Each structure stands twice: as C-alpha cells, then as structure tokens.
Amino acid sequence: MPIYEYKCSSCHFLFERRQRFDDEPVAICPKCRGKARRVIHSVPAIFKGKGFYTTDNRKGVPKPTKPVETEKKSPKEEKPK
C-alpha cells in the first residue's frame, strides 16, 4: 500500500497516511480539524550506469565490408625458384 502525504490548509501540519488506492483521501487534519489536502510530489529519476543515451546502448549498423580480392597468379606468371 502506498503512503500519501497530506497538508492542512489551516495550520500547515504535514502528515502521512498509508492507504489503499481505492480509499477516499483524508479531508480533515488530525491536529486542528481543518481542511487537509493531498500533497503531490514529483518522482525523482536516477540514471545509473550506461545505456541511457542512444550513443551508449547502440553499437550501430556494421558497415559492409568489401570482400578481399585474392590475387590469383596464373602458372605462367609464377617465378621459378
């Protein structure tokens, strides 16, 4: 179950509640009985290691290599020993 953070509009008291996703949000501050609202935070993203950029995780398309032409000498062109 996730933990939600709430803040009171009257006394600015911050408190947390562990609730199910389908539970109703807390509307009353437990300290002063004022109106409470859920606080929304941005989720931090931490990138560790390699592989987060296209240059890091792709090796690229291998370039086609030209076949190496082997020189075939005819028996006439061979030098005698």
Domain residues for the domain of 4 are 1-42
**In angstroms, rounded to a whole number, what is the distance separating the alpha carbons of residues 48 and 58?**
17
In a domain? residue 64: no
The yes-or-no verdict on residue 7 having pLDDT over 90 is yes
- Average pLDDT of the chain to the nearest whole number: 78
In a domain, 21, yes or no: yes
Percent of the chain with pLDDT over 90: 35
In a domain, residue 69? The reply is no
pTM: 0.50
8 in a domain, yes or no?
Answer: yes
CA atoms within 13 A on the CB side of 79: 1
Could you report the per-residue pLDDT of 23-55, keeping only the tens digit for each? 898 999 999 999 999 999 888 887 776 656 655
For 9-76, strand residue ranges (E) read: 14-18, 36-39
Domain count, the chain: 1
* In-domain check, residue 70: no
SS3 content of the chain, % helix, strand, coil (to 5): 5, 20, 75
